[in-house]
Structure 1
């Protein structure tokens, strides 16, 4: 559902998240005939089939222990930045610290550059003993040429308002003045203005549109909607226990067992907190919408159940893990068909649906929305593109997990989202985890176009992955609901049980994912989590890889020896070669032996899989690498290796900014005949904006061959091999690489180039 922020003087990044936008809810062609849960059927998900390692379990930190870790990390932030090789203008700001039972700490940092926030510069430092590893949102060096904007703040604000109008936001207005930032989530870091436009989305959900504008060129860089759409008797939860507070002779819906979580009735208002729910006898609601307390019961129970789930399963102390209670607001607006979590108020808000008669207060809606808060406090997955789909999927995943943890008779747990609220009026859920495409819009599998899909639908492959990981593929019935989950490759996937699937996803989210994590990154993060919890190449680890392959993300891991494919190689006579091959075995404790047939003369293979040496003659042949482990398991891969006469120049040539062309010469002698019709030109240029550059090859007779003509957008550097038809050129003579920078600001140099005529 949605995201919003209001601050008087200083804006902080916020999250208000909704189950889906109303447009998405109403426009999708949902299929009828969802299977009904049968309370008399199987009463639970598949059980965990492996026990996680005790050392990887999160430590349940007291408030004092957590505060001490935060103080220590903050005090050492300068040294950490230096150890990581960050520049003198970069500083690390501690966001959170977690600790494992084996003593491993995971410290999550935001970053600044010359005092400016770096959006997309977050990272996690994992420390065990003296060993440190990193999870980073960007691999790029965070650096900008200048921190003085050429585009005025007012101009950026005007363009942000225009963007909001283009997004059909009603009543748009700037939330303060735009702030200057370094935007590091794109191809290269740029100085930018971040403007936030508040208003209303078309369904009445609060809007907080973040618009990023390049502060040098004025070009639009990025934009995303940050309001994300997501004893008593309740309409959905049934009769449940409530922890309340007695004030005088009146009971208040204030939960003393969960840090004083408060539940309010907005009475169809859209701002403020409304009125705190009170009662004279501590018996709340009657299970019907006509009693305003009924929604309050569902809302309060949803908050309690979500708090309890994260505490019982992961030792998490509230949404932010800081022991601070959120609050909840029921009866928002009129005919509001949505619900949302907001970081700015640290609160959860629910509409009453069409005609104010169909509230969105079911348990999975509550858990979905509040889980957006957990994501915001940890990986903070950017709510756009593939990371936005993973953000939505995370909330769906934990919505299902909370349902199973609560195990209500009145809301039997399942792998569907929003099945009780009936927004569509036909009894269908919003989303199906076993086969997401059943909703008419979600994707079952990953594809290269997934990042352009609405995040509520690009969540499909991750939801599908999670269901497959928990329950496995094929037809089965869980709690009376029939599922039949397909796989992209047609191969079966074994389930590891819901409990273990939850552990894997939570650890990946909180320990390894960052704001820019995409689907490939999520695969890596979950495999790392599975390795921590169950061991590398354990059955659980292999099942994680299989579940991702089943949604077309990466490959399965075969039992026994696996050899990574090796790309076809091109080397030069007399040039040193160093190629590290990669192989592993799933047989625990087994050692590996490497053999290679067909290596070019002058090259040799070490017992660690390193191919090195200096080729002594030209030619092309097939090389077969075979790896065998000590159990006798074996695997091979083949590739082509071509050894040619390659000529290179490694003399540095500086490229003046917006100046005259420069040349790097390379002279060949002692060769007869002409160059090839497929002459190869490898170019390595270090430059902070390759779109400024033209790059040409100039033959011995002066013929010019264009290699690069200001293409590549805002990316850094040129590291590329080009092919040209130079068959009209004699090989002998002086060849030149000509480079010109045709725009101001960015600079660089030619590091090396090679010619294979």
Structure 2
């Protein structure tokens, strides 16, 4: 069953003053940033939608070089978690409030008397999505991704899809009617100093760990990231070890070959985020995720799981897909972890499409960052792992895959999130490369409620590095869990203004590229 599409929500940017990023002179004190932000929430209830029934828990703090603080909170109402109630409080170097960003449209005022009991909610979730609760009780919450916050049950059901992918699905069941209001999956899929001999990237350098009798495929320099062999099973697995520190043989006949790709992709992604964006690991806490390769039999997919903080890769079915361990797939999957630790874009509706697009965007950027002649950077997703087709997704013209949308239109949120990602992927390509890049021409969208681009407008790109920095800032300090495409446009423009100045070439290009994919 498809999730019911939530009404469109636009990000609320309550600008109180204009702040340009300045050279460092007095770095903000993170230890006190939370208290300052909480003070602003209480002092400006018209902006925060605060009242005495609400409380806040810290999710993240980002401090700019000039001392500006961006403090992200999750919200509770009378002790209940508010889904879609998260908020970012921005203060300048002196602690003065600059803006609050939220997608919540009304303060929660729901009655806390559910007509539907826990057991009924569980049965409704299982009937709609399958799976089982696995011993976990439904949680009473406030669901605020729509126009009016309502009382609901968050029911977690776990199971396995037909292709063998495990699922951890949240069913949001109305506590008044028992209807399914929304659902999403915490398993985020992709559609689909030793020497490593990889499947896709040639021979590469790996940082490994010395152990008694040899080495293990663990990287102490990158948060102790490691790779385990699932041996075509869905449970268990053991870390790869080797006696001579030479891993794989460039062929599938050696199970370590795929492990090399996974470990190499993880190292590249770690380095990209740290060197380019200053992020120390996926959760920005210096801790590494881990890889599981050779998952199940003929499993033709890959996924990120937040619960294990790990990436899982199948060997493919041998007909349409090979082992899904290419550089861009690795970057894609790890970026789901970055998203979950920042904007936490809910994996349904338009926010789900933006979640997937974010992984495609940064998976592509990791591929360019790698500068590997065996897998050169491009705007195709998964081209190395495909057998029957040329790619999983195409950012230059997303509709080329036969399912994705090039342009925003009113029904976009009802698509599978891998396909509603299309307009954001298309936007990023136009922003970075323009309409007539040597990498490929990209059509623009014309007026009208159409999902396929047919226009011939002309845009100049600002370069992929600048585009990526804008989108990373939008993700980490502007967007909230329910941000939709209109909110993403506002967030990206605000991020460009912060980095390059209001009215700058970059900021104007961001707006023009969104308009070129139908987001105005």
- TM-score exceeds 0.5: yes
Name the counterpart of 1:485: 442
List alignment gaps of at least 5 residues for structure 1: 1-52, 166-170, 555-757
Which whole-Å CA distance do the structure 1 matches of 2:516 and 2:135 have between them? 44
Which whole-Å CA distance do the structure 1 matches of 2:252 and 2:100 have between them? 50
Which whole-Å CA distance do the structure 2 matches of 1:78 and 1:390 have between them? 28
Name the counterpart of 2:203: 239
Q: Shift of residue 73 of structure 1?
A: 4.1
Name the counterpart of 1:3: none
Which whole-Å CA distance do the structure 2 matches of 1:80 and 1:174 have between them? 41
Describe how 1:304-319 pairs up with structure 2 within 5 A: 304-319=267-282
Name the counterpart of 1:270: 234
Is 2:286 the partner of 1:323? yes
Deviations, residues 509-555 of structure 1 (Å, cap 9, x unaligned): 1111111111111110010011111111111111111111111111x
Is 2:261 the partner of 1:298? yes
- What is the SS of the residue equivalent to 2:226? strand
The equivalent position to 2:460 in structure 1, one of 494, 509, 512, is 494
Q: Shift of residue 502 of structure 1?
A: 0.4
Name the counterpart of 2:121: 156
Q: Shift of residue 57 of structure 1?
A: 9.5
Name the counterpart of 2:343: 379
Describe how 1:179-258 pairs up with structure 2 within 5 A: 179-230=139-190, 231-258=195-222
The equivalent position to 2:312 in structure 1, one of 349, 367, 371, is 349
- What is the SS of the residue equivalent to 2:508? helix
Which whole-Å CA distance do the structure 1 matches of 2:283 and 2:307 have between them? 13
Name the counterpart of 1:530: 496
- For the pair shown, the structure with the greater C-alpha radius of gyration is 1
The equivalent position to 1:288 in structure 2, one of 230, 244, 251, is 251
Contact residue 259 and residue 323 of structure 1 kept, 8 A: yes
Deviations, residues 451-491 of structure 1 (Å, cap 9, x unaligned): 111111111111010000000002x323xxxx111112432
Name the counterpart of 1:601: none
Which whole-Å CA distance do the structure 2 matches of 1:419 and 1:58 have between them? 43
Name the counterpart of 1:633: none
Which whole-Å CA distance do the structure 2 matches of 1:79 and 1:525 have between them? 24
Deviations, residues 609-628 of structure 1 (Å, cap 9, x unaligned): xxxxxxxxxxxxxxxxxxxx
Which whole-Å CA distance do the structure 2 matches of 1:310 and 1:188 have between them? 37
Provide the aligned C-alpha RMSD in A: 2.0
Is 2:394 the partner of 1:432? yes
Which whole-Å CA distance do the structure 1 matches of 2:78 and 2:145 have between them? 18
Name the counterpart of 2:332: 368
Name the counterpart of 2:136: 176
Contact residue 179 and residue 194 of structure 1 kept, 8 A: yes
Which whole-Å CA distance do the structure 1 matches of 2:418 and 2:41 have between them? 37
Change (3 A) 1:163 1:282: same
Q: Shift of residue 426 of structure 1?
A: 2.6
Describe how 1:583-594 pairs up with structure 2 within 5 A: none
Change (3 A) 1:184 1:58: farther
Contact residue 365 and residue 399 of structure 1 kept, 8 A: yes
Contact residue 212 and residue 220 of structure 1 kept, 8 A: yes
Q: Shift of residue 82 of structure 1?
A: 1.4
- What is the SS of the residue equivalent to 1:195? strand
The equivalent position to 2:426 in structure 1, one of 450, 455, 464, is 464
Q: Shift of residue 416 of structure 1?
A: 0.5
Name the counterpart of 1:508: 474
Contact residue 169 and residue 186 of structure 2 kept, 8 A: yes
Contact residue 174 and residue 195 of structure 1 kept, 8 A: no
Name the counterpart of 1:29: none
Q: How many residues align?
A: 481
Q: Shift of residue 361 of structure 1?
A: 0.5
Deviations, residues 696-727 of structure 1 (Å, cap 9, x unaligned): xxxxxxxxxxxxxxxxxxxxxxxxxxxxxxxx
Is 2:487 the partner of 1:521? yes
Name the counterpart of 1:83: 43
Q: Shift of residue 152 of structure 1?
A: 1.0
Contact residue 403 and residue 413 of structure 1 kept, 8 A: yes
Q: Shift of residue 220 of structure 1?
A: 2.5
Contact residue 105 and residue 148 of structure 2 kept, 8 A: no
Is 2:80 the partner of 1:116? yes
Change (3 A) 1:122 1:54: closer
Which whole-Å CA distance do the structure 2 matches of 1:338 and 1:106 have between them? 36
Which whole-Å CA distance do the structure 2 matches of 1:500 and 1:56 have between them? 18
Contact residue 299 and residue 315 of structure 2 kept, 8 A: yes
Which whole-Å CA distance do the structure 1 matches of 2:59 and 2:40 have between them? 14
Change (3 A) 1:444 1:187: same
Change (3 A) 1:380 1:58: farther
- What is the SS of the residue equivalent to 2:246? coil
Contact residue 194 and residue 212 of structure 1 kept, 8 A: yes
Contact residue 58 and residue 98 of structure 1 kept, 8 A: no
Which whole-Å CA distance do the structure 1 matches of 2:502 and 2:458 have between them? 21
Name the counterpart of 1:72: 32
Contact residue 334 and residue 355 of structure 1 kept, 8 A: no
Name the counterpart of 2:103: 137
Which whole-Å CA distance do the structure 2 matches of 1:375 and 1:270 have between them? 25
Bigger mean CA offset, 351-360 vs 226-235: 351-360
Contact residue 20 and residue 498 of structure 2 kept, 8 A: no
Identify the structure with the greater strand proportion. 1
Contact residue 124 and residue 178 of structure 2 kept, 8 A: no
Which whole-Å CA distance do the structure 1 matches of 2:318 and 2:40 have between them? 56
Is 2:503 the partner of 1:540? no
Q: Shift of residue 148 of structure 1?
A: 2.8
Deviations, residues 271-312 of structure 1 (Å, cap 9, x unaligned): 23x111000010111110110010110010011000000001
The equivalent position to 1:358 in structure 2, one of 322, 332, 336, is 322
Which whole-Å CA distance do the structure 2 matches of 1:511 and 1:243 have between them? 33
- What is the SS of the residue equivalent to 1:510? helix
Q: Shift of residue 201 of structure 1?
A: 1.2
Name the counterpart of 1:445: 407
Contact residue 77 and residue 94 of structure 1 kept, 8 A: no
- What is the SS of the residue equivalent to 2:164? coil
- What is the SS of the residue equivalent to 2:85? strand
Q: Shift of residue 142 of structure 1?
A: 1.8
Which whole-Å CA distance do the structure 1 matches of 2:98 and 2:135 have between them? 40
Which whole-Å CA distance do the structure 1 matches of 2:138 and 2:294 have between them? 33
Using structure 1 for the length normalisation, give the TM-score: 0.62
Contact residue 78 and residue 91 of structure 1 kept, 8 A: no
- What is the SS of the residue equivalent to 1:403? helix
Using structure 2 for the length normalisation, give the TM-score: 0.89
- What is the SS of the residue equivalent to 2:294? strand
